[in-house]
Structure 1
């Protein structure tokens, strides 16, 4: 049996637009709720959420019951971390703070089996290979792994064209918050200079034949990004949804007693 078809990778290669949500609660019960919400993809965040390898596993397991594509964001682009999440069964990996073509090339080696890459061959005892039930996983896995790199500071932007020239990178994700901070506009991703940089990057990514993406919870950012060619767009985060809804509910009822 070959590796499962990666629907998100297939969709991005076809030029289709996918909408998703961030999972920052680091909890499988919350992930199960989000899994049935109807998004195209969900990002299990290992960078800014209190996730470890076991909590990532638990969320991948519950999301397997739903028609949604999980993406795992590793905390940093290191070979051993990428090896672990791939063996857990992740097929799409998002790597933060990519700043050079050399870094992108190493990440490509990290997701690829020998002789062309550095991924350890342990699928016979891994969830990815269905614990030896999927005998063809090793020969078919590489084609179904999707590598998404985050370009989110000025160093990355300066190297964007070089990163885009790396064959095998499926998409480039722009991080508005980090980019805004690096441009001197902390907390103001809607600043005109930041937005101009984002839209220019999206156009360049799309022109290079890669899939552009970003996280945007503001329509005033999301709509222009989609018009510029963004393909994988996270439009919310479970932490924000819970926090905002809870605050609004409390305010509604407490206000009545004042």
Structure 2
């Protein structure tokens, strides 16, 4: 048995645009549905949603990787080696590590995903990630198929992108638009010109460093604009937002029908 191929990591390395979705519903059923919708990647968020490890395990099982499913990307609540180890052991093929501020924190993130002597990941000989011991060469080759994304969320971190991008093992840099906007003084307003300037500065620094850049953009026009500007991986929606909108839209249509 072999380690599953990481189509998302390969696409990033080749510079192919990747359409994503952010998942915050903490549901294996929702994950199973959205995994086959046609997205290239889906973030299972545990930083800003009440999503815990056993629940993420069920979501990963529901999103069993094959030719018809999106590649999962798990976001731990923090750039913490214990959280990283646990999500890797249950088979997360990609991680996005929040609030990475400099090259040292980026290096620490990568180190937590590598076995000794390359890193500090604790060794288990039998867990879901290696199909309970059935992938004989897992420990030697896992890093070849493991995607590590670091999240830049402040202007100080943006300015350090050249150094962050140099860290071996960083496969992409995700720009956090909400926190970055807040950091430049425009909380809740990523459309503000100063916030947009910071986002575009981050993008240009990623391009110059040769690293794929990603962002979350639930607004369709924003998402298209970011793709056109050169972002490689863009999450074009959030599952709970889609559910919120769809349920309210259908109620509005029927209220209008009954009252009309």
Match of 2:164 in 1: 163
Q: Which deviates more, 68-77 or 194-203? A: 194-203
What do you get for the CA RMSD once the two structures are aligned?
1.3
Q: Which deviates more, 149-158 or 171-180? A: 149-158
- 1:69 and 2:71 equivalent? yes
Question: What SS does the aligned partner of 1:34 have?
Answer: helix
Match of 2:138 in 1: 137
Match of 1:204 in 2: 205
Cα-to-partner distance string for 1:180-237 (whole Å, 9 max, x where unaligned): 1111111111111111221221121022111100000123322332222111110001
Residue 93 of structure 1 deviates from its aligned partner by 0.3
Q: Which deviates more, 25-34 or 218-227? A: 218-227
Pairing 1:94-113 to 2, within 5 Å after superposition: 94-113=96-115
Counterparts of 2:192 and 2:158 in 1: how far apart (Å)? 17
TM-score (norm 2): 0.95
Match of 1:49 in 2: 49
Match of 1:254 in 2: 255
Question: What SS does the aligned partner of 1:90 have?
Answer: coil
Counterparts of 2:47 and 2:9 in 1: how far apart (Å)? 22
TM-score (norm 1): 0.96
Which one of 89, 109, 115 corresponds to residue 87 of structure 1? 89
Match of 2:10 in 1: 10
* Cα distance change, pair 257–2 in 1 and its aligned pair in 2 (3 A): closer
Unaligned ranges ≥5, structure 2: none
Unaligned ranges ≥5, structure 1: none
Counterparts of 1:219 and 1:152 in 2: how far apart (Å)? 22
Give the conservation status (yes or no) of the 8 Å contact 1:111–1:118. yes
Give the conservation status (yes or no) of the 8 Å contact 1:216–1:235. yes
Give the conservation status (yes or no) of the 8 Å contact 2:155–2:198. no
Residue 256 of structure 1 deviates from its aligned partner by 3.7
Residue 115 of structure 1 deviates from its aligned partner by 0.6
Q: Which deviates more, 153-162 or 46-55? A: 153-162
Counterparts of 2:253 and 2:180 in 1: how far apart (Å)? 35
Question: What SS does the aligned partner of 1:58 have?
Answer: helix
Give the conservation status (yes or no) of the 8 Å contact 2:79–2:109. yes
Give the conservation status (yes or no) of the 8 Å contact 1:2–1:134. yes
Cα-to-partner distance string for 1:106-146 (whole Å, 9 max, x where unaligned): 11100111111001110x22000111111110111011111
Give the conservation status (yes or no) of the 8 Å contact 1:205–1:211. yes
Report runs of 4+ in structure 1 exceeding 6 Å deviation.
Answer: none
Give the conservation status (yes or no) of the 8 Å contact 1:12–1:211. yes
Match of 2:118 in 1: 116
